[in-house]
Amino acid sequence: MLAMIGLLDNTDPERAHRYDEATELAVRHFQQRRGISVDGRVGTDTFAALTGAHWKLGDRVLSHDPGRLLTGDDVADLQTQLIELGYPLARDDGVFESTTAEALRNFQREYGLIADAICGPSTLLALRQLGRRVIGGRPQMLRELASVAESGPSLLGKRIVLDPGHGGADRGVTAEGAAEAEVVWDLASRLEGRLVALGVQTLMTRGRGVSKTDEERAAFANDVGADLVLSLHVDGSPSPLANGVASYHYGSAKSSSIVGERLADLAQRELVARTGLLDNRVHPKMWTLLRLTRMPIVRVELGYLTSNRDRSMLLDPRFRDTVAESLLVSVQRLYLPTADDPPTGVMRIPSGAL
């Protein structure tokens, strides 16, 4: 599979039976290009990306099957063309779901084709005959920015989904009797109380002691029509020296969420300024939850539970209050006009303020 996409010389017959250094290096290179965690291991996300990478638009007929969604680079290419033609798709994530089918159906109808939402030879020919119609920035980025501006600065009435990671039998990172699932549940509860006081409709992806897959979490956020998603995690490492906070948003070399990136940057700066955690910066990723949500989403890794320093802070209720306040302020700053946006680390939101 790596050889098919030009990342590995596959002429050595012995290599087919060995996961050698060259293979691992090729996997790491592929993961880096695709915005997947670079660990040299072919897990679920990496294998799915490898499987989809060899499909080119035109290799197969594309259609929407709710029971078995087609995925691959050919689907992403189709979505990119529809987006560039002005059809309102959230992103070109390579998943042929219902919104992609509807955009394709609208294109076919407007071009005088049979509106069956099937991308076959006639539809491909029509797409190739048309050029890009929207200029001045990628259309989905412009729509994201316009949506935030039009919603106004008040948080009242906005719908935000909080995603405390792990849960149930999946405790996440554990160290010295502390578990990630419990720490992030407490953080999410503190943030939920602050958001509700401001009139925000706040929903959790899971209950306490309940585990959900990333696909289920994304489907929940999509079904409720969330404006934003905040996914809360803490990190862990074999090295006790690893420490600090990092924020992640949906993005790759080909596609990105500009509002997600803005919110990740705001959250990262507020957290670093208010908590004193080491700044591990903002990063684009194509993780499943980030990729499958249809709205801006940020995943925050709030320190290392395996670090003595970070763990002592994470287990302090006052510190968790500071984290909740930092995230609340970053959400509010996202919606403020540039002229009204205060400097990092100085904004305070009184309870019940709108």
Stretch 305-333: mean pLDDT: 97
Top mean-pLDDT range of 135-139, 322-326, 339-343:
322-326
Per the model's pLDDT, the better-predicted residue between 129 and 314 turns out to be 314
Return the DSSP state at 186.
H
Is pTM beyond 0.85? Reply is no
Contacts of 261 (CB under 8 A, 6+ apart): 249, 251, 282, 284
pLDDT of residue 136: 47
Q: Give the largest Cα separation in the chain, rounded.
A: 68
pLDDT of residue 138: 59
Contacts of 146 (CB under 8 A, 6+ apart): none
Q: pLDDT tens digits for 264-286? A: 999 999 999 999 999 999 999 98
Helices (H) then strands (E): counts for the chain: 12, 8
Exposed, middle or buried by CB within 10 Å (0-12, 13-18, 19+), for 113?
Answer: middle
Give me the half-sphere count of Cα atoms (radius 13 Å) on the Cβ side of residue 29. 12
What tokens appear for 122 in the block?
Answer: 């006639």
Separation of alpha carbons 246 and 57, rounded Å: 35
pLDDT at 105 over 50: yes
Three-state DSSP at 78 gives: helix
Stretch 215-221: mean pLDDT: 95
pLDDT of residue 132: 53
Instruction: For the chain, list the strands marked E by DSSP.
Output: 159-164, 174-175, 178-179, 201-204, 228-235, 245-250, 279-285, 297-304
pLDDT of residue 129: 83
Give me the half-sphere count of Cα atoms (radius 13 Å) on the Cβ side of residue 255. 22
List C-alpha distances in Å: 211 to 164, 168, 181, 207, 242: 10, 5, 9, 8, 27
Q: pLDDT tens digits for 136-170? A: 445 666 667 777 878 888 999 999 999 999 999 99
Q: What percent of the chain has pLDDT over 70?
A: 94
Per the model's pLDDT, the better-predicted residue between 280 and 350 turns out to be 280
Stretch 46-68: mean pLDDT: 92
Instruction: For 137-208, list the strands marked E by DSSP.
Output: 159-164, 174-175, 178-179, 201-204
Q: What percent of the chain has pLDDT over 90?
A: 67
pLDDT of residue 93: 83
pLDDT of residue 133: 53
Per the model's pLDDT, the better-predicted residue between 140 and 248 turns out to be 248
pLDDT of residue 141: 64
pLDDT of residue 17: 78
**Which of the four pLDDT bands, split at 50, 70 and 90, describes residue 246?**
very high
**Which of the four pLDDT bands, split at 50, 70 and 90, describes residue 354?**
very low
pLDDT at 92 over 90: no
- All domains in the chain, ordered by first residue: 13-53 (no CATH), 73-135 (1.10.101.10), 149-340 (3.40.630.40)
Say which residue the tokens 């905040």 belong to: 230
Q: pLDDT tens digits for 59-76? A: 999 999 988 889 999 999
Return the DSSP state at 183.
H
Stretch 39-62: mean pLDDT: 92
Query: Please, what is the average pLDDT of the chain?
Result: 90
